[in-house]
Each structure stands twice: as structure tokens, then as C-alpha cells.
Structure 1
């Protein structure tokens, strides 16, 4: 579906050159867990992702003042720390979505309204709702204020005018009551410079549980290059996402993107692990971060890790693919893409 004319801002694709990656350090609440051991596991895993990204490009970590010394002890010395109050650590969602002016000369930062993934009962967002503007200021970006509730994990762009999104996120009554596809499309066109919308009906099964996002697309599908969509494929019929992923893949068949190409669908297998103590997992290799010269990918100590990393090498042939064990992140509701946010480089 094509929306109104795109605005003056454009969001580059993730594979475009980055100035840096932004993250936030776990500070409290469910992300740290209930025991010192769980807190330590969360902090070490976030730090492992930051240190992997720092091999390829600068990393800036936002950290609550009380956690600065802990963070410094776990992070590569090259990682910059910026101290301010935080509720949580999901930079993709609470942070800004960076954009460039149409001529590429100015950096902008879309500051979505953040309300804890649709005002979820367990979430707090007093401080996190301010992180978009805070990070924009540190980056020297012009703030592009958006009136809609949205998170960076709820969409993917190809940089040429196409956006992937899900009906259960942007149209969620807990986020944007009364919103229509037309109203969301108009705002995305204005703030992200997109004009072709690929609406998926839903996300993965686990994402609708208590600590889920209600359908973020960044564990379902992404664009690794123009005209290509990489899609999560659950091959085992014993997992409820077997039917879900087949339906999502079918919905993408024949879709024409902004450049006039019919999307080429590349399937990436779900991990062989099907369940944990809380039910069917939503482990996903789709939830990776593209960085300068590389890809930082989720692994799960799983029989399908090597297969999936090979698929990533095929769709990103000029980049080094590095895996980081993401099980501790997924246990808390997301993956590597969810805790990072890329800042594009100015030409």
C-alpha cells in the first residue's frame, strides 16, 4: 500500500555507514531479575554485545549513575559512558530512530512517544520516555517529534521507501487508540520518508505473553538489502510459530517494494530449541545488528546456530558475521537488535 508523499527526512537502511551504536545498561526491574546471579548475567550479556559492536564502530552506552562503575568494569575501554536515570535497557525501543535530511547534510532523531510497549502493567517509563531527546542531544541531532506511540523494534526500513510493520503494534489500542493504517502511514511518511508499507498481521507467539511487545517485527523479518526480505522460519510443526511463520511468509509472496521489485524471500531457520520453562521460545536469528563491516548476530548454543550464521553470511556477503549468545536477552524479552540503535553517518 502506498501512502502520502514522503517528508523531508529519510531513515537510512541499517547497512548504511554508521557513526556509532547506542545502548543502555541494565539498571533495575525485571531485566535484572530476582537474584544477584540473574543481575550479573544480564549485565555481562549486554556488555558482551557492546564489546562485540565496539570491534566494528564506536559504541555509546547510557548508564544510570549508580551503575557507572559496574558498567566500566565490564565494558571495553573504548565504549563511551553517558550517565542519566533509566528505567530499563531496551535502547531500540525507548531511544530515537535516527534519520537524515533529504540532502544528507543534517542528522535528525525521531522521538516517538514511549509508554512501556502499550502501557504494560509491569513496565515503568518515567525516565525511559525522555531518552529519545537525551540521546538526540548527545548526538547533535535535530529532534523530530512524533505524536504516535511507537518503538524502533516495531518497524524495519529498506532505505528506498519501503517499511515493514505489524498490525498488532502500531494499531495496538494500548499504544495508539483509534489509529488507522492511513494515519500511521501518514506519520511514517512524514518522519521516516517512506511511501510503501508492508503490513504483517502479527508477530511470533511468545511476543504476546506477559513480557512481550505484542508483535515487534524485528524478530520476524528484516531487509538485508534492497528487494530482499529475510524471514524467520520455524520448521518444526511442534512449535506454534510453525503455522505463524508459514502464514507470514505467504503474506510476503508477490509483494512489490518501493523500487518496483517483487520481494525476494530468504528464509532463515528458527533455532532447534522449541521450549523453555515458560513455554514456546521466540528465539530468532532475524534479530541481529548490522554494523560497519560486520553483523552482530544472536546465537543460542543451538544446533541451528551454524546454519543461521551461514544464511547471514550469504545475505551480507561483504561483512564479518560475529555471534553472541543471546539467551539471557531473550529470557528478558528481546534480542541484540532490541538493545541497540544505530546512528547513521553523515556523508
Structure 2
């Protein structure tokens, strides 16, 4: 499948006129848990050295292609390509990798960076009607750190046009990697990111919570404190704390008291233990070790086993040729109780300061 989105196209997709003042939650929409069936997973194909400098872009590409292949074993993969030449290059690379091209969809439009979790579409669904809608959050490249970002900010509407879906714009900055869902009304996030003045300085915590509830269709916002060393997003939740089912959380922990991540992950863990879900119960907490520090060219990357992607084919887990890889795989196999664990090397990808979850955004099947 193929779709070209011209930069000068501004087709407005909105809710029906008689419901335009209603929020997605009022209309019965909600953000499904990641383990719900997917129609596709969306990626923005990396093409410049914004995140992988020098020869690192070429070095990470085989790991990125292996990621696409793994997802495509169970669902379609939507790829946003910067231009037609890049699309043709991708087709050639996927063919050499053995990917079934019938599972690949393309949108050709200008892009800035590869982190589709943060700039891509957020899909909400109405379980009663089977309708699907895109929430178009604003994107400012993690507090304005990496301009330009205007092409990436246009991505949700390009996907909405391609899929012929309605789109709603809450009017605030939000990133998909900063929120985590259990599919039963609860959302996890971090204070260091969503309360950072480089995102929405005009909003307080209560106002942010209300907007999250209104546009993600959830009932409860739960907060941890901060993120890990090397994470340039100001503490995205998907590097530290993830739901594996409605009432179970895997929480990253660091056992070395001298490690830079020890204190913050211990603080997050204590906060998690104080939380109660909507049913009044304390969530089950499974401790997930951090890898031993993943250092590349004297830079400590935000290597984390929590940056996994749950897709139809299984759970794609980043591994780093690290002494703790197998420990993490074993823990996640038990946590996901029968869902296939797919460990993939992210030793080159992680230089970009993110991994498989950061690179992707799932589109639910309805």
C-alpha cells in the first residue's frame, strides 16, 4: 500500500459537527492496552544523523530491519518514509531481510527523526461502536531540544488522512513514551516529564491529569518521580515502569547502590508500592533488573529492558550482549505468562537514546 502526503496539504479531519465539543472520553473512546490486538504498528524510518551520528545510522539499520521483520510476523507495519527515494531504498532492504512486503504499508511525507512513539498518532477506540480515532498531541522534540520538529509534528494528521480516520487535537504537548496504560482506566506517567516547564508551563498537575483523562479516555493518573540516566526525554515512563496486564507492573530496579540509577529507581519503586488501582487494590509489582551500564564511546546510554514492544507476534525485548540479558528475559517470560518473548539486539539502536518501544506506535484492531 502507498500514500503520499504533501507538505502543503492541510485536510482537516474532525469529529462530527454535533459532537465537536465533546471529548473522546465523553464519546466513549479509550486508549487500549498495548497487549490488545493490533491492526498495525507504525514506524518513522530513520534517514538522517539527528539521532545516530556519523556511521552509526548504517550500523543500527540491520537491527532496525530485524525489528520490522519481527513485528511483521503478526501484523502490518506502517512505515513513514521521508521521500520516494527512501521508500524505494526501504523496499530493497526489506526484500534482502526477507520481510513479506504484503505486510508493509507506506506513507511518504517529510520527517525529522525516528521516534514515532512520541510524534506519531495516538489511537483511541470506542469498544461499543468499533470506531477508531486519532489524537493529535503537539510535539516539540522533548522540550525543544532537537529542532526542527515541524515535519514530525504533522505525522498524526498524515496517518489520519491515510486511514480516513477522524482526528482531535487537545492543544498541548504530549509524548507517547511518557504514558503507560493498563486498559482498565489507569495511566502511569512521571512527574519529571509531564510536569516539566519545557512542555506545558501554563498547566498544573491537576489540569494535565484532566486532559489525559479526557483525551485518552482513562479514569486515573498515577505518578512516579523520574527517569534513568542517558534518557534525554526528561524521564519517559517506558524506560522504567510498564504494565504487563491490568493489575501487574514490571518496575526497573538497580541493585548497585553506587550506580547513578539506584536512587531514582528505588524512589519510583516505593511510589509504586503506595499506589492503588481503580478497584482499590495495590498493583502486583515485578522487579526487573537494569542491564549493567550500557556505555558506548564513553556515553552511558539509557539501556533498559522495559523498553519492550508488545505486538501480535510477541514481546520484542531489547538486549545488549549484557550479563543481565537472560535474567530479564526469564523474568519477562514469567510476567507475560505464555506470550512469546522475542529478544532482539539493540546495541546500536540504543546510541540514539531510545529503543524498540520509543521507535513504534501501535494501531489497535477494531
Per the normalisation by structure 2, the TM-score is 0.88
Stretches of structure 2 that go unaligned for 5 or more consecutive residues are: 1-22
Contact 2:289 2:324 in 1 (8 A): yes
2: distance between equivalents of 1:18 and 1:219? 22
RMSD, aligned α-carbons = 1.8
Q: Which residue does 2:86 correspond to in 1?
A: 67
Give unmatched runs, 5+ long, in structure 1.
Answer: none
Structure 2 match to 1:281: 301
8 Å CA contact retained: 1:288, 1:295: yes
- Cα distance in 1 between the residues matched to 2:294 and 2:308: 20
Tell me: CA distance 1:232–1:206, structure 2 relative to 1, closer, same or farther (3 Å).
same
What's the counterpart of residue 87 of structure 1?
112
Residues 64 and 83 in structure 1, CA contact (< 8 A), matched pair in contact too:
yes
Tell me the distance in 1 between the aligned counterparts of 2:73 and 2:67: 10
Matched, 1:152 2:176: yes
Q: Distance in 2 between matches of 1:306 and 1:260?
A: 34
- 1:43 Cα shift? 2.6
Partner secondary structure for residue 206 of structure 2: helix
Given candidates 233, 239, 245, the residue that maps to 2:265 is: 245
Q: Secondary structure at the match of 1:314?
A: helix
1:342 partnered with 2:362: yes
Query: How many residues end up aligned between the 2 structures?
Result: 336
**Alignment partner for residue 258 of structure 1, among 272, 275, 278?**
278
Q: After TM superposition, give the deviation of residue 5 of structure 1 in Å.
A: 11
Cross-structure match for 1:111: 136
State the match for 2:206 in structure 1.
182
Other structure's SS at 2:258 match: coil
Q: Offset at 1:254?
A: 2.8
- Structure 2 contact 275–282 (Cα < 8 Å) conserved: yes
TM-score, length-scaled by structure 1: 0.92
CA contact (8 A) 2:275 2:283 kept: yes
Residue in structure 1 matched with residue 53 of structure 2 by the alignment: 33
Match of 1:167 in 2: 191
> CA separation of 1:305/1:68 partners in 2, compared to 1, >3 Å: closer, same or farther?
same
Counterpart CA distance in 2 for 1:57 and 1:331 is 27
Structure 1 residues 181 and 55, CA gap change in structure 2 (3 angstroms): same
Tell me what 1:235 maps to.
Answer: 255
1:50 corresponds to: 68
For residues 53 and 5 of structure 1, the distance between their equivalents in structure 2, rounded to whole angstroms, comes to 29
User: 1 CA distance for matches of 2:82 and 2:140?
Assistant: 20
Larger Rg: 2
Q: What's the counterpart of residue 4 of structure 2?
A: none
Tell me how far apart the structure 2 counterparts of residues 31 and 148 of structure 1 sit (CA, whole Å): 24
Matched position secondary structure for 1:10: coil
> What CA distance in whole angstroms lies between the structure 2 residues aligned with 1:278 and 1:237?
21
Displacement over 3 Å in runs of 4+ = 4-7, 273-281
Q: Return the match for 1:199 from 223, 241, 249.
A: 223
1:25–1:43 contact (8 Å) kept in structure 2: no
Give SS of 1:338's match.
Answer: coil
SS of corresponding position for 2:53: coil
Q: CA deviation at 1:238?
A: 3.0
Local SS of the residue matching 1:205 = coil
Change (3 A) 1:39 1:5: closer
